[in-house]
Amino acid sequence: MDVFLSQVFTGLSAGGVLLLIAIGLTLTFGQMGVINMAHGEFLMAGAYTAYVMNTIIGNAEASLLLALPVGFFVGGLLGVALEAGVLRWMYRRPLDTLLVTYGVGLVLQQVARDIFGAPAKEVPGPSWLDGSVPILGYDFPLSRLFLLALSLAALAGVAAVLKLTALGRQVRATVQNRDLAETLGISTRRTDRITFFLGSGLAGIAGVALTLLGSTGPTIGSSYIVEAFLVVVVGGIGQIKGTVIAAFVIGVGQSFLEYATSGSTAKVIVLALIVVFLQVRPQGIFAVRTRSLA
Amino acid sequence: MSTTHTPAGHTPAGTTETAAATAALGTTGPRTWRTAPPDVSGGWRPSGALVGYVVLALALLLVAPAVLEPFRLGLLAKYCCWAIAAVGIGLAWGRGGMLVLGQGIYFGLGAYAMAMHMLLADAGPEGIPDFMNLYAGGVMPTWWEPFRSPVVTLVAIVVVPAAVAGLLGLAIFKRRVKGAYFAILSQALTAAFALLLIGQVKTTGGFNGLNNFQSFFGYSLYDPANQQMLYFLAAGTLLAAVALTSWLNSTRFGELLVATRDAEERVRFLGHDPANIKTVAYVVAAVLAAIGGALFVPIVGIISPEQVGVTASIAMVAGVALGGRASLLGPAVGALVIGYAETYLSESFPGSWSYFQGALFVFVVLLLPGGIAQLLTRRSKKEVPA
């Protein structure tokens, strides 16, 4: 029972991290048909933001809380720059956006290497996240609990924006039918830009959060991006609830498989299962019915 | 997207399936930019392609061996291996519209098969590779055993990647997983493959891969004459690969492949199964990548997960994009140029290669989707399919 619970909790927090990364991806993929491979590098930027904030402030207790909003803006601004500088020329060419953003990601990685050096940097976590809380007889690390809470908070935030605000209505309209939304007077250009800001900002937050789990290096983003895209594909592109289910199922499943086998074998099995799953549901758990992506 | 009603002549990419299908199948349609005559020649007039091919052959077989010192010739041999894989990517991506980000898998399957044979041949009839004494306690997995035979190895280099690609291709394309989904999936599979190689230290050498080879089918790898022989083998294989795709493009299959790229639904309505057409192209691309990988091992002297992972797989696409994915010679020439640029830039300005490679993806895809071939043939960039 102990092992079972610990694997569930570990899996939930891993799923939370995946969710945090994948929400932004599914927003931009679903709405704009942009496969943003540089999303991982926005995450990296968030992680380095946490490192810089920590160096400037020198107080691990406060710097994490300050780094979260700053990381959001750093990621978001990078996203807006990418959208305005490159991506707006290539909407409806998803395969090409994949290559272009991969190129941007390469450049950003090298920028990070030139500024911070290739060796990974450690960001000390705040002391209030040391230790663990007993849940059902299992000691659950506070930092992982914080990650889970953070991803759920981000999810609630995105859901609230999408469901309750005028912007959210415009985003949903644009996802469902861009041309019709345009006809109804929605500036899809403006909606795109704000969505990209939100999605990339979430990557920044995810990056800050990841510094709690390990060290920060130039390739931190590329180690998560493939998995994050799988979450998006399995969940159904542009589907927040599908992304949530997929993130947690993949996170928990991987955690159990890792316990049963080894880290790399578990990843291979997860991928094989995803290929099988796509045989059953090629469009993911939930599908946008109104428009098909290439 | 196909339900969008857009006036003719004002069509965004991706909505002109029917028009392009009409064109690809040889009947006339409304004169929009996607209704150019069937682009079977990829923008190269047959004569132009032939001239280019002859120039490439002369450059590779006569000029390069005469002017390059042995070390540079060895590097060119390495670029040829990548170029062989690139020719396959040109077929799958440029002709078939499948962005394959996972050719590292097949490159790796070919390379590891060759590497296993070379290690076993070096170890002698009953011997086992050194690294197994180190990591695996002197125990060799039984599935290594067949690779003692050169014939089995050569067959495996073709058959194993073909079988894997055939199964994966059918599984993916029959369920109509395509476009971006296929690209992401192929990338994920590459990541899994690299992880598997790293994880299985006892059988694959793990992160360090397989290296320290002495001989290639009995020929010492340290003899300059044999190194030159390997170069001619690689260059000759590259030319043969280009000739093969040229022939494939000229067949009915080649036309169906382009038609599937431009209008899959229309091809389906006409009674063909696009999944089969795509799978064949994917398998040919996989086998070419595997052959490139198999030649890479004796030429470079090492194969490791780093050379077959996600980054390496996408890097293979860079050359294809630069040269022109839909043209006949573009992928091969692009891969050779990229290989040279990578060596030159990382020798002269360490660290600048990433900037260059990144900028290349952005500028070529954004401004020159047809690659260098597009400049040579002076075609509108819009005629190259997205």
Q: What is the secondary structure of B305-321 as a DSSP string?
A: GGGTSHHHHHHHHHHHH
Strand partners, A135: A138
Kindly tell me if the per-residue pLDDT of B308 is higher than 70: yes
Residue among B176, B177, B365 whose CB faces A99 most closely: B365
pLDDT score of A1: 53
**pLDDT score, position A161:** 92
CB contact under 8 A, B175 and A274: no
Which residue, B86, B52, B309, is CA-closest to B195? B309
Rounded CA-CA distance B291/B239 in Å is: 13
- Beta-strand ranges (E) seen in chain B are 210-211, 215-216, 219-220, 302-303
> What pLDDT does residue A288 have?
58
More confident residue, A31 or A184: A184
Cβ of B199 and A263 within 8 Å?
yes
Count of the separate structural domains present in chain A = 1
Q: Would the CB atoms of B358 and A230 count as touching at under 8 Å?
A: no
- Beta carbons of A43 and A201 less than 8 angstroms apart: no
Of A109, A227, A271, the CB nearest to B354: A109
pLDDT band at B46, cuts 50/70/90? low
Q: What is the domain extent for residue A209?
A: 2-120+136-280
d(CA A12, CA B296): 43
A118 shares contact with chain B (CB less than 8 Å): no
Average pLDDT over residues B97-125: 92
Per the domain annotation, does A270 fall within a domain? Answer: yes
Instruction: Tell me, yes or no, if B362 comes closer than 8 A to chain A by beta carbon.
Output: yes
Which token pair is B280?
């064949």
Percent of chain B with pLDDT over 90: 47
- Average pLDDT (A219-241) is 87
The ipTM is: 0.86
User: Does A159 reside within a domain?
Assistant: yes
Distance from CA of A170 to the nearest CA of B (A): 20
Distance between CA atoms of B68 and B25, rounded to whole angstroms? 46
pLDDT tens digits for B150-159? 999 999 999 9
Q: Report which residue type is found at A107.
A: V
- Average of per-residue pLDDT across A210-218: 89
Instruction: Give the Cα separation of A130 and B69 in Å (integer).
Output: 61
Domain annotation covers residue A293: no
Q: What band does A260 get if pLDDT is binned at 50, 70 and 90?
A: confident
Angle between helices A166-176 and A2-32 (to 10 degrees): 80
Q: What is the pLDDT of residue B382?
A: 46
**pLDDT at residue A245, rounded to an integer:** 93
Instruction: Confirm whether A184 is domain-assigned.
Output: yes
Give Rg (Cα) of chain B.
Answer: 21
- Mutation target to probe the B interface, by most B beta carbons within 10 A, among A26, A91, A92, A106 is A106
Q: Does B265 touch chain A (CB under 8 A)?
A: no
Q: What is the pLDDT of residue B22?
A: 41
Helix, strand, or coil (residue B302)? strand
A92 close to B (CB below 8 A):
yes
Tell me the average pLDDT of chain B: 84
State pLDDT tens for residues B368-385: 888 888 887 755 444 445
Token digits of residue A35: 């496969």
| 8 A C-beta contact, residue A34 and residue A200 | no
Q: Which residues pair with A141 in a beta bridge?
A: A132
Instruction: Give residue B10's pLDDT band: very low, low, confident or very high (50, 70, 90).
Output: very low
pLDDT band for B79, please (50, 70, 90 cuts): very high
**Interface residue B167 vs chain A (CB under 8 A):** no
In the numeric block, the tokens 């000029």 are attached to: B63
Residue B155's pLDDT is 96
Q: Name residues 179-208 of chain B within 8 A of A (Cβ).
A: 179-181, 183-185, 187-189, 191-192, 195-196, 198-200
* Whole-Å CA distances, A75 to A21, A45, B319, B329: 12, 7, 30, 40
- The predicted-structure confidence for B133-152, as pLDDT tens digits, reads as follows 777 777 888 888 899 899 99
In a domain, A292, yes or no: no
Torsion angle, alpha carbons of B234, B240, B241, B246, to 10: 150
Interface test with B, best of A29, A226, A237, A257 (most B CBs within 10 A): A226
Sign of the C-alpha dihedral, residues B330, B332, B333, B337? positive
Q: Average pLDDT, stretch A56-74? A: 90
The contacts of residue B124 (CB under 8 Å, 6+ apart) are none
Residue A294 located in a structural domain:
no
Q: What is the pLDDT of residue B38?
A: 52
Tell me what pLDDT residue B1 has: 38
Give the mean pLDDT of B183-205: 87
- Using alpha carbons, list the distances in angstroms from residue A204 to A68, A71, A73, A76, A85: 8, 5, 7, 7, 19
- Distance from C-alpha of B139 to C-alpha of B346, rounded to nearest angstrom: 40
pLDDT bin (cut points 50, 70, 90) of residue A72 is very high
pLDDT for position A289? 55
CATH code (residue A201): 1.10.3470
- CA dist B227 and B234 (Å) reads 11
| Rounded CA separation B64/B72 (Å) | 9
Contact of A261 with chain B, judged by CB distance below 8 Å, is answered with no
Model confidence at A156, pLDDT cuts 50, 70, 90, reads very high
Residue holding tokens 């996802």? A175
A168-192: b (≥16 Cβ within 10 Å) or e: eebbbbbbbbbeebeeeebebeebb
* CA–CA min distance B101, chain A (Å): 10
Lowest-confidence pick of B97-101, B123-127, B169-173:
B123-127
Percentage of chain A surpassing pLDDT 70? Answer: 97
Contact B187 A229 (CB under 8 A): yes
DSSP B3: T
As a whole number of angstroms, the distance between CA A23 and CA A20 comes to: 6
Three-class DSSP labels, chain A: CHHHHHHHHHHHHHHHHHHHHHHHHHHHHHHHCCCCCCHHHHHHHHHHHHHHHHHHHCCHHHHHHHHHHHHHHHHHHHHHHHHHHCHHHCCCCHHHHHHHHHHHHHHHHHHHHHHHCCCCECCCCCHHHCCEEEECCEEEEHHHHHHHHHHHHHHHHHHHHHHHCHHHHHHHHHHHCHHHHHHCCCCHHHHHHHHHHHHHHHHHHHHHHHCCCCCECCCCCHHHHHHHHHHHHHHCCCCHHHHHHHHHHHHHHHHHHHHHCCHHHHHHHHHHHHHHHHHHCCCCCCCCCCCCCC
CA angle A274, A277, A280 (to 5 degrees): 160
The two most distant CA atoms of chain B are separated, in Å, by 72
Residue A103 touches partner B, C-beta closer than 8 Å: yes
> pLDDT tier at B15 (50, 70, 90 boundaries)?
very low
Q: Look up residue B304 and give its DSSP letter.
A: -
The answer to whether the CB of A60 falls within 8 A of the CB of A54 is yes
The answer on pLDDT for B3 being more than 80 is no
**Is A145 within a domain?**
yes
In a domain, A55, yes or no: yes
Residue A56: left if φ>0, alpha if ψ -120 to 50, beta else—which one?
Answer: alpha
pLDDT at B243 over 90: yes
Mean pLDDT confidence for B119-133: 84
Q: Which of A280, A221, A198, A285 is nearest to A248 (CA)?
A: A285
